[in-house]
């Protein structure tokens, strides 16, 4: 018994010492795939996060304490993600975790954060179910354009603006593609349409002839896609091979270098919703792009969207911790749900982005449609990024 | 037997106790608790994989798919509300899920093994690899059943509800919510314990002996009526069942499963666990499971990784130095290589700054290191190390102390089933053609019951081919063979052996890693009637059978004069004794017809005398013998009839003395011509 | 009808790639009864080395066609070295350790290491491989074919014929055939069988690397390109038989064509399933493969 009290005293005094010195770092978890197929997104996201953390620490940290990122590779595998979550929560004792590229990993791992009452910031994963896994008090937040938003934009572009009557859906067989396909179907139904063909393919498939022929035979005027880079490139190249060219309109992954580079000229004209386009349209964006290019010695950011959202997620979290004046999970969640300071991010300016029931920072009006032109992503309509339209803010209420 | 199980259970206790105690620590840290649960689950699977990989020597690259099948069986039941999780009533449901997971995975295992194991070689590995892909696709595609790529969410059941005690459990200061995990932990550990006992009993039974035997010599197994094919399938199905059991638990422990949980890399991990931990043991696979589960964590933390690399380097240098002192000078360089590699590995770990980029390489290097330098795994390495200081350590495991007696040598006499013409075996016009070569060219052979029939001829005359045709190893190109009033052409070796034809081999085919008495007991496999369930439950009838088989085996060893060597490993016997052991093993089959292929080769003169006495006694007990032999004095002294083959054709037949004087025989042996008979 | 032909033509191109990788399995299996489970990675390394070479040659101002032709010998030599490396460092060492399965683990491990090296050298994203013949497809009565696809079909058959010709006519090739027929006898006749086995691995990887540079212009080139191709080639090797040259060609065509046809007529999600089920069927009915010879065990 006596030993216990001695220990307790020791712990308490250590805690006090920490408070006095005010130097104890704040640990933030970072979970993402840094190896394997989706690592390009993971690495860009990580680099964006590190950039923001570096800036914040240079300005004196949060509540006078430096931020420390504990990064773990979840390998885009569910079970590794679960293990990473357990480790970050129980061993590293992080105050919050950022990351998740893959919806599946996110769905598998978040439960543990929810149970431990530690906030999670999904900054890339887009599955609509991600923030709706748990009822309030919900610890899952997101600052990425989720699939419902994206598919509404895709369908609007194809049906509304372009006026296509017949569209085909091509989605990969992972949960990313299949969740997205469901959202696309819903968005089409809302417009009173059904696709003429719904096809899928496996990751690493080398031949898309069957899928494309089916879409072609059904008379599709456009192809709506939900897949990741390499397979999207196979679709673009496959269409060229068949001598059949219809517009590709799809999720934001059409902006990935792993689509644009291998597809080459065939990628031109592909359209996708973008929360961020590598163009210095606001001072903040200009600063971010330059800082990124300087820090990682690249001209084109491998996945600009991931990098920008990763960067913003850190600032959102930092603002919440400052407001909560605590690293306690419950208090951080409450602060996030009633964020008082405006956070000026790269994607948008976050003005009270979350409420108790709405954990999505990105609303339908924020992303713009991007288009691939000559190997780079530009806005479909550059006017979308000019003047007062440059900064689109989530409407209140 | 007592010593064997005592040792195993002793070691078991050593392995399991800390895990059990850990639960108390674990309960305060859900991270470690979850790790230990996953280790437990993987251990169940890896123990099962060891039966296939360690005992029968086949490689399965489909175990992660079988694991997935188990998980999805549980998951689909919950998904379709056939079972519930969560509430207290989940206790029964999780048990149902475990049973179903086991059964379904076993069924898929059978579906896979039945075609794939017909062929030897790397086929099982290749087919299981493809199977993994098919299962992945099926789980992904059958949305209606499996919810496709979206995955299934389950909830851990509350095995015992202690919430009435309040928020925290008194005494242990555990949050009530955590009790769910603690209870699940106990469920997993109980299942693991059950698995260990089950696997122990299987491998110690006649099945386990069969698994090891077929690995050492598949042909001899088949000829002892222990069908290689059937037993490999059996081993694979048991292994699949355990994978399914583990999978069903995994679904509940992770609470969310999706198709990409069960990948090829996971399969490699399982194989690595068996090899690295140590095959053919219980501790090894558990150790392996601990390693592969903690590997991502180890490779995720650079400091920890450096620490481990340093530890490995220290162990390597220590054991390497010791080995340098003890070893042959010529082996010194060979020993130096792994030690240097370990040091290089440590040096590398100091240089790496970004570990995630090289994770897979490190993983691959680990596999290579284990394959080259730790083929017996960590357990095997430690066993060897301890054996250096404690001579005889680890040897006592299989020791069988039973004394045989003359009364138990022979099976109760039965009147032999003869052919319609009164012969024991009747070969009619058999042709065996290999490409353009006729190894047997329309040969007739009629062997009368209770005789010793010699089969002689120069090398390459077709004697051994005849043996192989008679025992079903070759299927003759033409002709017919009547045995026990039925044709045996086209029958498989194990079936022919089961009908009562036993044999020995010209180039000895013993089960080298089994002890002498166990070799004979493989021959007695046909006397067992207990199934897998009986063995697992250790029914009294199973124990009785085993005891009877031991007495019988010891008696047979006494008969061939090997009783003193009963517990020696067969591969360590002198050559002559090996031949005698083969005869003893063949006798264990209770044959009606015994084929002896050059039994006197390599025997000394006194041994040959003994052999002649043994063969005579075999005949006295009503067993018909076909004897191939080059020692003419042996043939002439004991054979009743002799058939002479040359270039695949029968050139003479009759009483030994008549045959010996036949000019064609002399010509065949001495290379002269018929026109110039020997002077 | 056009569609059917289009599907079959695409299936043939894919099938020939499977076939030539499976041919590589055969080469080593014949001499050593082992095969490289990292064959897909051999293909991938060949393609990536080819990519770097051709980029270098293009930067010297060569036009795509001569650059591609000049690159071929470089890749073939690299492939041979890589194969010999796998045999010397992986298979041979593992077989020494008396565990039957060691070589399977060792070749898989080497495959993992090659993959990781490729990821670190060439990056994790897929690259596009300059095509020597351009990416404009040819139109034959409504059936569209990429020029590279025609090259794949004839290149694969040509490479297999070359290897066969070499084996039948040259003295070294005869040593390979002899070792395949009876390793012990070949050794007794003074053939250095272990060198023959190393050589067969070199040939096998060379063939895979060649397949890599043929397939690269029509698909994507990257560290993970080999895995699924290597797996499909296993299926082909089993369906066609591990001992028959014609078997792998036919097996490859069967698998390639069923894939595209199933994809179109049943469901694109299930396109791999019929081929793999065919594999299980062949194994249960004719375990040595459709064209394989049943080996006779020696006692």
- Which residue of A75, A181, A209 is the best one to mutate when testing the C interface, meaning the one whose CB has the most C CBs within 10 A? A209
If asked whether residues A385 and A253 sit together in one domain, one would say yes
If asked whether residues A268 and A286 sit together in one domain, one would say no
Locate B601 and state its tokens.
């080769």
Nearest residue of chain C to residue A37 (CA atoms): C124
Comparing CB atoms, the residue among B31, B151, B357 nearest residue A89 is B31
* pLDDT at residue number A314: 93
Contact status of A34 with chain B (Cβ, < 8 Å): yes
* pLDDT at residue number B566: 86
CB atoms within 10 A of CB C173: 18
Q: Which of C108, C111, C94, C112 is nearest to C32 (CA)?
A: C94
DSSP string, A23-69: -PPEEEEEEE--SSTTHHHHHHHHHHHHHHHHHHHHTT-BTTB-EEE
Q: Which of B5, B17, B361, B356 is nearest to B203 (CA)?
A: B5
How far apart, in whole angstroms, are the C-alpha atoms of residue B634 and residue B629?
Answer: 8
Task: For strands B641-646 and B624-628, give the pairing.
Answer: unpaired
- Structure confidence at residue A8 as a pLDDT band (50, 70, 90): very low
CB contact under 8 A, B130 and C279: yes
Alpha-carbon torsion (A38, A44, A45, A46), positive or negative: positive
Q: Helix, strand, coil: what percent of chain C each, to 5?
A: 75, 5, 25
Question: What count of CB pairs under 8 Å joins B to C?
Answer: 140
B142: closest CA of chain A, how far (Å):
12
Which residues fall within 8 angstroms of residue B50, CB to CB, at 6 or more apart?
B199, B274, B279, B280, B281, B284, B285
Per-residue pLDDT of chain C (299 residues; tens, 9 = 90+): 778 888 888 889 889 989 988 998 888 888 888 888 899 999 999 999 999 999 999 898 888 888 899 999 999 999 999 999 999 888 888 887 766 778 888 899 999 999 988 988 888 777 888 888 877 778 887 788 888 888 889 999 998 899 888 888 888 888 888 888 888 888 888 888 888 889 999 999 999 999 999 988 888 788 888 888 888 888 888 888 877 778 888 899 999 999 888 888 887 777 878 887 888 788 778 777 787 766 555 54
Q: B64: burial class by Cβ within 10 Å (0-12, 13-18, 19+)?
A: buried
Under a CB-based contact definition with an 8 Å cutoff, are residues C233 and A172 in contact? no
Q: What are phi and psi of B595, to 5 degrees?
A: -100, 120
For residue C75, the cross-strand partners are none
Residue whose tokens read 């280790």? B39
| A237 chain-C contacts, CB cut-off 8 A | 135, 218
* pLDDT at residue number A27: 92
Chain C segment 198-227 residues within 8 A of B by beta carbon are 227
In chain C, how many H helices and how many E strands? 12, 2
* pLDDT at residue number B7: 55
Q: Strand (E) positions, A55-201?
A: 67-73, 96-99, 120-122, 140-142, 167-172, 197-201
User: What proportion of chain B, given as a percentage, has pLDDT over 90?
Assistant: 25
- Structure confidence at residue B160 as a pLDDT band (50, 70, 90): low
Under a CB-based contact definition with an 8 Å cutoff, are residues A291 and A324 in contact? no
DSSP string, C100-117: TTHHHHHHHHHHHHHHHH
For residue A32, the cross-strand partners are A73
Contact status of A72 with chain B (Cβ, < 8 Å): yes
Contact status of A175 with chain B (Cβ, < 8 Å): yes
Alpha helices in C86-170 (DSSP H): 92-96, 102-122, 147-169
How many structural domains does chain A have?
Answer: 2
* pLDDT at residue number B307: 83
**Parent domain of A303:** 25-145+281-362
Which three-class secondary structure state does DSSP give residue C155? Answer: helix
Question: What count of CB pairs under 8 Å joins A to C?
Answer: 100
Q: Look at residue B6 and tell me whether its pLDDT is greater than 60.
A: no
Set out the domains of chain B in order of their start, with CATH numbers: 2-293 (no CATH), 418-508+616-670 (3.40.50.300)
- What's the average model confidence in pLDDT over B255-260? 83
- Measure the N-to-C terminal CA separation of chain A; round to a whole number of Å: 55
Locate A30 and state its tokens.
């970072």
Comparing CB atoms, the residue among A73, A75, A90 nearest residue B30 is A90
| C113 chain-B contacts, CB cut-off 8 A | 360-361, 364-365, 368
Give me the sheet containing A120-122, strands edge to edge: A67-73, A26-32, A96-99, A120-122, A140-142
- Which residue of C112, C114, C259, C262 is the best one to mutate when testing the B interface, meaning the one whose CB has the most B CBs within 10 A? C112
List, for residues A337-378, the tens digit of each pLDDT value.
988 888 888 888 888 888 888 898 888 888 888 999 888 888
* pLDDT at residue number B329: 67
CB contact under 8 A, C105 and B468: no
Contact status of B361 with chain C (Cβ, < 8 Å): yes
- Is there a cis peptide before residue C231, judged by omega within 30 degrees of 0? no
- Structure confidence at residue A91 as a pLDDT band (50, 70, 90): confident
Q: Look at residue B143 and tell me whether its pLDDT is greater than 90.
A: no
List, for residues B507-562, the tens digit of each pLDDT value.
889 998 889 999 999 999 998 988 888 888 888 888 899 999 999 999 999 988 88
How far apart, in whole angstroms, are the C-alpha atoms of residue A138 and residue A111?
Answer: 10
Query: What are the structural domain ranges in chain C?
Result: 23-226
Full-model pTM? 0.85
Q: Look at residue B162 and tell me whether its pLDDT is greater than 80.
A: no
Locate B51 and state its tokens.
């039966």
How far apart, in whole angstroms, are the C-alpha atoms of residue B215 and residue B221?
Answer: 9
If asked whether residues A135 and A229 sit together in one domain, one would say no
Mean pLDDT, chain B, as a whole number? 83
If asked whether residues A176 and A207 sit together in one domain, one would say yes
- What's the average model confidence in pLDDT over A252-257? 88
If asked whether residues A332 and A261 sit together in one domain, one would say no
Locate C54 and state its tokens.
């051709």
| C41 chain-B contacts, CB cut-off 8 A | none
- Measure the N-to-C terminal CA separation of chain B; round to a whole number of Å: 64
* pLDDT at residue number B584: 92
If asked whether residues A161 and A53 sit together in one domain, one would say no
Q: Which of A56, A51, A2, A24 is nearest to A317 (CA)?
A: A56
List, for residues B448-478, the tens digit of each pLDDT value.
988 999 998 888 888 889 999 999 988 898 8
Pick B140 or B211 by higher pLDDT.
Answer: B211
Number of residues in chain C: 299
- Assess if residue A11 is contained within a domain: no
- Assess if residue A395 is contained within a domain: no
If asked whether residues A232 and A113 sit together in one domain, one would say no
Residue whose tokens read 């949060």? A62
- Structure confidence at residue B63 as a pLDDT band (50, 70, 90): very high
- State the DSSP code for A87: I
- Structure confidence at residue A132 as a pLDDT band (50, 70, 90): confident
Q: Look at residue B38 and tell me whether its pLDDT is greater than 50.
A: yes
Number of residues in chain A: 397
- Assess if residue A122 is contained within a domain: yes
- Assess if residue A32 is contained within a domain: yes
If asked whether residues A303 and A207 sit together in one domain, one would say no
DSSP string, B379-439: HHHHHHHHHHHSTTTTTGGG-------GGGSSPPP-PPP--TTS-SEEEEEEEEEETTEEE
If asked whether residues A184 and A169 sit together in one domain, one would say yes
Element (H, E) at B444: strand B437-447
Contact status of A89 with chain B (Cβ, < 8 Å): yes
- Assess if residue A57 is contained within a domain: yes
Comparing CB atoms, the residue among C124, C215, C268 nearest residue A201 is C268
* pLDDT at residue number C131: 82
Of A204-218, B20-34, C34-48, the range with the lowest mean pLDDT is B20-34
Q: B173: burial class by Cβ within 10 Å (0-12, 13-18, 19+)?
A: exposed
- Structure confidence at residue B8 as a pLDDT band (50, 70, 90): low
How far apart, in whole angstroms, are the C-alpha atoms of residue B592 and residue B590?
Answer: 7
Contact status of A27 with chain B (Cβ, < 8 Å): no
C72-110 core/surface letters (b: 16 or more CB in 10 A; e: else): bebbbebbbebbbbbbeebbbbbbebebbbbbbbbbbbb
- Assess if residue A192 is contained within a domain: yes
Cα-to-chain-centroid distance, residue A59: 26
CB contact under 8 A, C137 and A242: yes
CATH number of the domain at A158, please. Answer: 3.40.50.2300
Q: What are phi and psi of B329, to 5 degrees?
A: -55, -35
Residue whose tokens read 């090398």? B459
Q: Which long-range contacts (CB under 8 A, 24 or more apart) does A251-254 make?
A: A251/A126, A251/A147, A251/A150, A251/A151, A251/A154, A251/A180, A251/A225, A251/A226, A251/A227, A252/A126, A252/A145, A252/A150, A252/A305, A252/A367, A253/A227, A253/A228, A253/A229, A254/A225, A254/A370, A254/A372
Locate A372 and state its tokens.
């691939």
If asked whether residues A356 and A245 sit together in one domain, one would say no
Chain C segment 239-268 residues within 8 A of B by beta carbon are 242, 267
Q: Look at residue B674 and tell me whether its pLDDT is greater than 50.
A: no
CB contact under 8 A, B35 and A115: no
How far apart, in whole angstroms, are the C-alpha atoms of residue B454 and residue B615?
Answer: 12
Which three-class secondary structure state does DSSP give residue B654? Answer: strand
How far apart, in whole angstroms, are the C-alpha atoms of residue A127 and residue A108?
Answer: 13
Chain C segment 116-175 residues within 8 A of B by beta carbon are 116-117, 119-120
Question: Model ipTM?
Answer: 0.87
Locate C251 and state its tokens.
């097996």
Cα-to-chain-centroid distance, residue B343: 36
- What's the average model confidence in pLDDT over A203-225? 87
* pLDDT at residue number A221: 93
- Assess if residue A33 is contained within a domain: yes
B312: closest CA of chain A, how far (Å):
24
C173: closest CA of chain A, how far (Å):
34
If asked whether residues A266 and A303 sit together in one domain, one would say no
- Which residue of A69, A83, A183 is the best one to mutate when testing the B interface, meaning the one whose CB has the most B CBs within 10 A? A83
Give me the sheet containing A167-172, strands edge to edge: A197-201, A167-172, A222-226, A248-250, A271-274, A368-373, A376-379
- Assess if residue A396 is contained within a domain: no
Q: Strand (E) positions, B82-238?
A: 152-153, 168-169, 174-175
- Measure the N-to-C terminal CA separation of chain C; round to a whole number of Å: 55
If asked whether residues A107 and A154 sit together in one domain, one would say no
- Structure confidence at residue A226 as a pLDDT band (50, 70, 90): very high
**C206 backbone φψ class: left, alpha, beta (φ>0; ψ -120 to 50):** alpha
Contact status of B450 with chain C (Cβ, < 8 Å): no
């Amino acid at each position: 018994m006596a030993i216990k009290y001695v220990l307790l005293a020791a712990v308490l005094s250590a805690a006090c010492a920490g408070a006095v010195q005010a130097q104890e770092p704040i640990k933030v978890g970072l979970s993402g795939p840094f190896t394997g197929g989706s690592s390009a997104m993971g690495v860009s996201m990580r680099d964006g996060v590190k950039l923001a953390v570096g800036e914040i620490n240079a300005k004196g940290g949060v509540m006078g304490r430096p931020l420390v990122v504990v990064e773990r590779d979840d390998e885009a595998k569910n079970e590794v993600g679960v293990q990473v979550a357990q480790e970050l929560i129980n061993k590293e004792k992080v105050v919050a975790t950022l990351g998740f590229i893959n919806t599946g990993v996110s769905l598998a791992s978040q439960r543990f954060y929810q149970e431990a009452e530690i906030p999670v910031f999904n900054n890339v994963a887009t599955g609509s179910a991600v923030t709706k896994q748990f009822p309030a008090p919900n610890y899952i937040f997101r600052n990425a354009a989720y699939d419902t938003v994206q598919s509404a934009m895709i369908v609007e572009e194809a049906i509304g603006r372009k006026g296509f009557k017949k569209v085909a859906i091509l989605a990969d067989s992972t949960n990313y593609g299949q969740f997205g396909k469901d959202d696309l179907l819903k968005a089409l139904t809302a417009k009173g349409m059904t696709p003429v063909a719904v096809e899928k393919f496996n990751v690493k498939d080398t031949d898309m002839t069957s899928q494309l022929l089916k879409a072609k035979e059904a008379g599709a005027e456009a192809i709506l896609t939900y897949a990741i880079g390499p397979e999207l490139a196979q679709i673009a190249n496959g269409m060229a091979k068949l001598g059949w060219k219809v517009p590709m309109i799809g999720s934001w992954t059409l902006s990935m270098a792993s689509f644009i580079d291998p597809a080459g000229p065939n990628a031109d004209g592909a359209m996708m919703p973008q929360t961020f386009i590598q163009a210095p349209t606001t001072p903040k964006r200009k600063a971010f792009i330059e800082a990124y290019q300087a820090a990682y010695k690249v001209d084109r950011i491998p996945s600009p969207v991931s990098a920008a959202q990763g960067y913003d997620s850190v600032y959102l979290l930092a603002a919440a911790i400052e407001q909560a004046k605590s690293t306690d999970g419950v208090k951080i969640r409450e602060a996030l749900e009633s964020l008082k300071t405006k956070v000026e991010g790269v994607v948008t300016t976050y003005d009270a982005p979350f409420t108790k029931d709405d954990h999505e920072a990105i609303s339908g009006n924020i992303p713009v449609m991007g288009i691939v032109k000559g190997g780079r992503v530009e806005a479909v309509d550059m006017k979308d990024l000019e003047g007062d339209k440059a900064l689109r803010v989530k409407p209140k209420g | 037997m007592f010593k064997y199980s005592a040792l195993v259970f002793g070691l078991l206790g050593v392995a399991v106790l800390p895990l059990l105690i850990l639960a108390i620590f674990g309960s305060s840290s859900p991270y470690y608790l979850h790790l230990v649960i996953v280790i437990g689950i993987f251990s169940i699977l890896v123990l099962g994989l060891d039966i296939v990989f360690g005992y029968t020597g086949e490689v399965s690259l489909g175990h992660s798919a079988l694991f997935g099948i188990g998980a999805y069986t549980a998951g689909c039941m919950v998904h379709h509300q056939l079972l519930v999780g969560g509430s207290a009533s989940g206790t029964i449901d999780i048990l149902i899920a475990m049973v179903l997971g086991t059964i379904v995975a076993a069924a898929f295992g059978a579906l896979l093994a039945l075609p794939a194991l017909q062929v030897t070689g790397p086929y099982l590995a290749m087919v299981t690899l493809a199977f993994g892909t098919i299962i992945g696709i099926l789980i992904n595609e059958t949305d209606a059943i499996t919810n496709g790529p979206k995955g299934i969410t389950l909830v851990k059941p509350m095995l015992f509800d202690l919430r009435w005690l309040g928020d925290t459990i008194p005494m242990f200061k555990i949050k009530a919510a955590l009790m769910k995990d603690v209870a699940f932990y106990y469920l997993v550990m109980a299942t693991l314990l059950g698995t260990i006992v089950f696997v122990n009993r299987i491998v110690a039974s006649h099945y386990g002996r069969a698994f090891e035997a077929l690995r050492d010599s598949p042909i001899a197994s088949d000829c002892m009526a222990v069908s290689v094919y059937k037993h490999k399938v059996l081993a694979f199905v048991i292994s699949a069942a355990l994978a399914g059991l583990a999978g069903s638990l995994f679904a509940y422990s992770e609470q969310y499963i999706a198709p990409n949980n069960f990948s090829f890399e996971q399969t490699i991990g399982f194989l690595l666990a068996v090899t690295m931990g140590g095959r053919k043991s219980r501790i090894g696979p558990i150790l392996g499971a601990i390693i592969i589960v903690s590997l991502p964590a180890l490779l995720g933390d650079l400091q920890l990784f450096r620490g481990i690399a340093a530890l490995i380097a220290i162990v390597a240098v220590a054991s390497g130095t010791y080995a340098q002192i003890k070893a042959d000078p010529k082996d010194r360089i060979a020993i130096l290589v792994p030690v240097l590699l370990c040091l290089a590995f440590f040096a590398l770990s100091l240089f790496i700054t970004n570990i995630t980029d090289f994770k897979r390489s490190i993983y691959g290097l680990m596999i290579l290191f284990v394959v080259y330098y730790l083929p017996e795994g960590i357990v095997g390495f430690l066993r060897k190390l301890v054996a250096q200081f404690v001579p005889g350590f680890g040897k006592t495991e299989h020791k069988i102390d039973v004394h045989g007696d003359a009364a138990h040598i022979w099976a109760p006499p039965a009147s032999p089933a003869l052919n319609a013409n009164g012969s024991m075996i009747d070969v009619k016009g058999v042709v065996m053609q290999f490409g353009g070569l006729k190894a047997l060219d329309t040969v007739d052979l009629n062997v009368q019951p209770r005789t010793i029939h010699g089969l002689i001829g120069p090398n390459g005359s077709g004697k051994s081919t005849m043996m192989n045709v008679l025992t079903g190893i070759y299927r003759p190109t033409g002709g017919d063979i009547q045995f026990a009033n039925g044709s045996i052409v086209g029958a498989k070796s194990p079936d022919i052996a089961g009908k009562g034809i036993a044999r020995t081999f010209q180039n000895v085919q013993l089960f080298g890693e089994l002890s002498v008495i166990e070799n004979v007991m493989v021959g007695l496999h046909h006397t067992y009637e207990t199934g897998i369930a009986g063995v697992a439950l250790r029914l009294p009838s199973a124990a009785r059978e085993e005891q009877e088989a031991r007495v019988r085996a010891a008696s047979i060893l006494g008969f061939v004069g090997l009783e003193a060597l009963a517990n020696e490993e067969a591969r360590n016997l002198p050559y002559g004794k090996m031949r005698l052991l083969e005869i003893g093993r063949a006798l264990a089959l209770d044959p009606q017809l015994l084929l002896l292929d050059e039994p006197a080769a390599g025997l000394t003169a006194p041994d040959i005398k003994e052999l002649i006495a043994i063969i005579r006694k075999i005949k006295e007990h009503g067993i018909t013998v076909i004897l191939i032999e080059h020692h003419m004095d042996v043939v002439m002294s004991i054979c009743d009839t002799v058939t002479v083959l040359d270039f695949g054709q029968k050139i003479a037949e009759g009483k030994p003395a008549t045959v010996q004087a036949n000019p064609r025989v002399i010509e065949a042996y001495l290379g002269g011509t018929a026109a110039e008979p020997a002077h | 009808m056009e569609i059917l032909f289009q599907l079959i033509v695409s299936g043939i191109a894919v099938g020939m790639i499977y076939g030539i990788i499976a041919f590589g399995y055969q080469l080593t299996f014949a001499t050593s009864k082992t095969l490289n489970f990292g064959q897909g990675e051999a293909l991938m390394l060949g393609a990536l080395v080819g990519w770097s070479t051709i980029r270098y040659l293009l930067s010297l101002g060569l036009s795509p066609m001569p650059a591609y032709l000049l690159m071929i010998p470089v890749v073939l030599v690299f492939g041979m070295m890589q194969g010999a490396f796998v045999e010397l460092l992986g298979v041979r060492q593992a077989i020494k350790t008396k565990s039957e399965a060691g070589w399977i683990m060792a070749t898989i491990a080497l495959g993992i290491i090659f993959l990781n090296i490729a990821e670190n050298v060439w990056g994790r994203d897929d690259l596009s491989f300059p095509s020597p013949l351009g990416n404009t497809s040819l139109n034959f009565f409504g059936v569209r074919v990429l020029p590279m696809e025609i090259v794949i079909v004839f290149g694969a058959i040509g490479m297999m014929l070359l290897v066969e010709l070499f084996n039948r006519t040259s003295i070294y090739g005869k040593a390979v055939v002899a070792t395949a027929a009876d390793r012990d006898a070949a050794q007794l006749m003074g053939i250095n069988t272990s060198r023959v086995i190393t050589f067969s691995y070199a040939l096998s990887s060379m063939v895979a690397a060649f397949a890599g540079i043929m397939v690269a212009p029509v698909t994507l080139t990257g560290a993970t390109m080999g895995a699924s191709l290597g797996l499909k080639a296993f299926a082909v090797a089993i369906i066609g038989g591990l001992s028959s040259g014609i078997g792998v060609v036919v097996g490859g065509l069967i698998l390639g064509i069923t894939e595209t046809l199933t994809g179109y007529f049943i469901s694109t999600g299930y396109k791999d399933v019929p081929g793999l089920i065919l594999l299980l069927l062949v194994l249960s009915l004719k375990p040595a493969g459709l064209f394989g010879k049943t080996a006779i065990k020696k006692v």
